[in-house]
Structure 1
Amino acid sequence: MAIDGAPGAGLTTEQLAEEVTHLATPDLLKTPFGDFEFFDGVPKAESVPSIYDALDLLRGIDAFLTAVPGASLVAMRRGLRSAGVDAPDKIGFTDPRANSGSMFLTPNTETTYGTTFLDLKAWGPTVIEAPPQSLCVVDDFWFRYVADMGIAGPDKGAGGKYLFLPPGYDGERPGGYFTYESPTYANWVVLRALGGVPAMKQTRIYPLAEADAPRENTFINIAAVLQNTVHANDFSFFEEVAQLVAEEPVTALDPERAGTLAAIGIAHGGPFEPDEHRRALLDEAARTGAAMSRALVFAPRDPGAYFWEGSSWKNAFVGGSYEFLRNGARNLDARTQFHYFATVITPAMAHAQVGAGSAYAYTAEDADGQVLDGSATYSLRIPADPPAKNFWAVDLYDTQTRSLLQSTAYPALASLSGTVQAEDDGSYVLWFSPTAPEGKESNWIPTIPGKSWFPMVRLYGPLEPWFDKTWTLPELVKES
């Protein structure tokens, strides 16, 4: 039997009128995009184009901030192709190590890299034979984690055969492989072999169809080949993203981000051909998005981006999640922060373990909170007993390109080199200036007058004092 409830008292006429004020749009609305005019909530004809311009600008900014990961890998592939790494069986490597000649997002100068791109559309199922004692990662074309190989992977550093399947694959899955299915056809492969170049050259990449007689691989030393692997900050950014969307299946991207891109004209199965008016709006959106990304990198407002209270030293992986998740939600600012100035997504980087992997800290300001100036002289004290099982290093980067500062081929200092001099108390005082302070040449990295720069401190095999924060980095001190 249904029981009807007694009606409530409802709102008074005055209360209802007050509620309407919360629902209504005034006839003249002043916004950051200009004044919009309405007649009783209906936009006037002369305001409609401005409103849609504002919407396109907002969509474009959002698209920039959310699509940075994909654009970054489109630019990476383009740069590698220009260096001759234009097929999966061609592997680029840096001998002896990465240098400042080309533009790569924050590489280190301490280890030898190897890299290529898989093409699962052209090759189908593809095998990678990872070398022993290596640290190798595969990320999809939207820069999402697919697999670790080597020490952090299931072969545990013994070396192993990995099979990568294209999206939607429903064919044979033979045994004897560590098997992964990627959401995208293109996949970025990053190789680091602890045995250096000879060990790197033990890598093999070939189609599964050739498993009985694998092809030979070509290894190309890209260390001295000038290339740009960094995405654009103007309208051409969206052309990079459009290329990715056109190549990959609809299922490669979640509907929400795909919808954001479609709203500005980037959709699967159709050309990206904005008219001149929308092109100008998207150029402004890209430049604005880049400005916001730089704030997220160099001056994040999330307290979790800082290692120690009151310190300027920042964490590249805010929250320690390789998926940038926090309390079940995507940390959008953290994702943009990382991808705007760094590369490689793997749990091993995002959440280092005691004695394994590596830890990173960076800053772009001195002890007074001022932006670092390449014309000035700064010092940084690395306290005694740096908590690194293997070694520590400091690399300098260009704030514009987020690539190695081109003040010298290797703008870095590392304890591994054996040339950095310690103080009597076991600490290390490092110097940064256009010319070396007298007697400090062994502990000096040159900077460039008229340019800013930022350092990144790396601890390889971070130890407990790093994690419990009993060892901390002091601020950079401006000496002159």
Structure 2
Amino acid sequence: MTKTRRFGPVFKGLSTVTLAAMLAVGCSSKPDAGTQAMNKGSGDVPEGYTTAIPDELMTPDSVETSAGTFNFFDGMPDAATAEASFDNLKFIRAYETFLTMMPAARLEMLRHGHAEMGVDGHTKVMLMSPLNSKPLFLTGNTDTVYGSTFFNLKETGPLVIEVPAGLGPGTINDAYFRFVADTGAPGPDKGKGGKYLILGPDDKEPENTDGYFVFRSPTYSNWLIMRAFLDEEGKPDKAVANYKQGVRLYPLAQKDNPPEMTFVEGGDAVYNTVHANNFEFFNELNRVIQREPIDFLDPEIRGLASAIGMEKGKPFNPSVADKKLLEEAVQVGVAYVRSDMVTPRGEDALIYEGNPQWFSAFAGGSYEWLKDGGKGGRNLDARNNFFWAYTVNTPAMVLEMVGVGSQYAIAGTDSEGNYLDGSKTYKLTIDKNPPAKDFWSIVVYDPQTRSQLQTGQPFPAKNSQRNKDMVANDDGSVDVYFGPKAPAGQEANWIETVPGKGWFMAFRLYGPLKPWFDQSWKLNNIEQVK
């Protein structure tokens, strides 16, 4: 086999690569005369055999693939072919590890970002009241007051979480970003407040759990993210007070003498909660694998990581050559998820049939990304898209819960299918009577960081509760403008964008009503103002 630069023929010039493309055999064979004689047909007896051999069982002496030219002697590869095939396999394992285990790295970096802010234990809660564009936080909103903390059940044992009445939706996700429980209105307390008892993978359930909503997490580390609404004037003061007076986290063993809570303001600070898009991703992931119980992932998924040298209880120390290969695998994976980020391929991602502009972060309507109720397995594209760009995994964002929770619509292209360009001006008309019991909002995001777009406006957003100065049209609709400069007379309705940068947006309904679900009320497309 004539060797070329490793993987050069495979990935050079590719803008989008999927695993299916990498695995596609799609080969062009160059059989010699002997091989041609062997492959005359399933009815013939090839030379060297005593019975007919089906053609499809035979490997030619030379095979052209996207991974290079493979050479064989009677089905046995030469040294260069064996080396290249194993390198290609390691690349595929690294690529799949990046995509499949992205949820774990996502949550790990959320934990790391909280620790940077001093929120490094269950007695500390970060308040974002509200979140602005300084923190790097995937598609966070500017509309609610977040209360966010991490806890480690290996350190605490069974943990009590006290949630006060009046908080909005809350969610607990495990270290693999799987759903554990909802709190608040979508949870079992129904917004009336209550005590939650969270058990870890090693914990025995107490004999008496009266007065608790009991849930079990398969991991030690878990994220609790709560939301509270701004008041009628769009201010956070009442929400902050509710957190400070009512939220408590403590080990069940300390229920008679709970520790004091500390609340840290993080909405206006500079810190990062987004995983790396280079080799460092694997170091972030390795921290999770080393910390969590061995069976928090099934053997199939653990096998992906161990195939690239990452295994619980062992050092992760790839060679220089392997680091280069793993780095390249991440870059190919990034190309794929970025290609699907604002132009998802799946029709089941579209909110309105036949309209590719507005799509859901939960393609297929499943928080587990199950296709056709599980008959089609897991929708891997949908799952990858979600964890690349979005945060908080809960069925409350998927289920039809009229008047409860929230619903989202994402757009990253205009009515003509072009990416949204920060140097141009656009308009989105929100028709009258948006179906929200509480309020609606728009937040603009940076496609690089998937966090809020950083501009001269600390909040790249409009909110029907906070921005009461927005001017309505005579028919009750509201025009929202996006561009580097506000159109004359539309300053109150304008969200600033940055020339030379793209952007995408999320439209949110808090307390969504029936017209949203039955689509008797629909979003208009984003139109460029020419």
- TM-score, scaled relative to structure 1: 0.94
Residue of 125, 132, 148 corresponding to 1:99: 132
How far residue 448 of structure 1 moved from its aligned partner, in angstroms, is 0.5
CA–CA distance in 2 between the matches of 1:420 and 1:257? 50
Letter paired with 1:283: E
Aligned partner letter, 1:299:
T
Unaligned runs of 5+ in 2: 1-41, 230-237
What's the CA shift string for 1:337-393, capped at 9, x where partnerless?
A: 111111111111122422222111111111111111111111111122212221111
8 Å contact kept, 1:379–1:429: yes
Pairing 1:286-301 to 2, within 5 Å after superposition: 286-301=330-345
Q: 1:14: Cα distance to partner?
A: 7.5
Distance 2:491 2:511 in 1: 27
Contact 1:394–1:414 (CA<8 Å) still a contact in 2? yes
The equivalent residue for 1:409 is 458
> Is structure 2 residue 232 aligned with structure 1 residue 183?
no
Q: Structure 1 residues 173 and 126, CA, compared in 2 at 3 Å: closer, same or farther?
A: farther
Q: Which amino acid aligns with 2:107?
A: L
Which residue of 2 is the match for residue 371 of structure 1? 419
Mean CA deviation greater in 461-470 or 272-281:
461-470
Deviates further, 470-479 or 158-167: 470-479
Q: CA deviation at 1:30?
A: 2.1
Aligned to 1:13: 44
CA positional deviation for 1:431: 0.6
Shift of 1:397: 0.1
1:144 pairs with 2:166: no
Question: Equivalent residue for 1:307?
Answer: 351
> Residue 389 of structure 1 contacts residue 461 of structure 1 at CA under 8 Å; is this kept in 2?
yes
CA distance in 1, matches of 2:137, 2:163: 24
Letter in 2 for 1:286: V
| Alignment partners' CA distance in 1, 2:53 and 2:385 | 40
The 5-angstrom pairing of residues 3-152 of structure 1 reads 12-13=43-44, 20-95=54-129, 97-134=130-167, 135-152=169-186
Identify which range, 64-73 or 465-474, moves more after superposition. 465-474
CA separation in 2, counterparts of 1:75 and 1:397?
Answer: 19
Alignment correspondent of 1:3:
none
Change (3 A) 1:60 1:35: same
The CA distance in 2 between the partners of 1:193 and 1:457, in whole Å, is 18
Note if contact 1:414-1:420 (Cα within 8 Å) is conserved in structure 2.
no
Q: Does 1:393 align with 2:441?
A: yes
Distance 1:356 1:136 in 2: 12
The separation in 2 between residues aligned to 1:173 and 1:330, in whole angstroms, is 37
Q: 1:473 aligns with which of 496, 505, 523?
A: 523
Say whether 1:324 aligns with 2:358.
no
SS in 1 for 2:352: coil
Aligned-pair distance for 1:173?
4.3
Give the secondary structure class of the aligned counterpart of 1:354: coil
Q: Show the counterpart of 2:478.
A: 428
In the other structure, the counterpart of 1:360 is: 408
Once residues 102 and 150 of structure 2 are traced to their aligned partners in structure 1, the CA distance between those partners, rounded to angstroms, is 18
* Counterpart among 432, 440, 443 of residue 384 in structure 1: 432
Alignment check: 8 A CA contact 1:352 1:359 kept: no
CA distance in 1, matches of 2:353, 2:158: 49
CA deviation after TM superposition for structure 1 residue 260, in Å = 1.3
Amino acid of the structure 1 residue aligned with 2:292: E
Hey, what does 2:9 align to over in structure 1? none
Give the conservation status (yes or no) of the 8 Å contact 1:391–1:459: yes
The CA deviation at 1:469 is 1.9
Structure 1 residue matching 2:214: 3-state secondary structure: strand
Tell me the distance in 2 between the aligned counterparts of 1:326 and 1:340: 19
Corresponding letter in the other structure for 1:436: A
User: Contact conserved, 1:76 with 1:229, CA < 8 A, in 2?
Assistant: yes
Q: Pick which of 23-32 and 181-190 moved more.
A: 23-32
The match for 1:199 is 242
Q: 1:39 to 1:173 in 2, by over 3 A?
A: farther
Q: How many pairs are equivalent?
A: 469
| Alpha carbons 1:235, 1:279 under 8 Å: kept | yes
Displacement over 4 Å in runs of 4+: 14-19
Q: Secondary structure at the residue paired with 1:113?
A: strand
CA distance in 1, matches of 2:518, 2:291: 45
Q: List per-residue Cα deviations over 1:200-221 (Å, max 9, x = no partner).
A: 1110011111111101100111
C-alpha separation between the residues in 2 aligned to 1:84 and 1:331?
Answer: 37
Calculate the aligned-residue CA RMSD, in Å: 1.7
Partner of 2:489: 439
Q: Which runs of 5+ in 1 are unaligned?
A: 1-10
Under a length normalisation based on structure 2, what TM-score does the superposition of the two structures give? 0.86
CA positional deviation for 1:105: 0.3
Contact 1:132 1:193 in 2 (8 A): no
Alignment of 1:163-178 (within 5 A): 163-170=197-204, 172-175=206-209, 176-178=211-213
How many Å separate the matches in 1 of 2:163 and 2:61?
66
Corresponding residue for 1:460?
510
What secondary structure sits across from 2:101 in the alignment? helix
Aligned to 2:324: 280
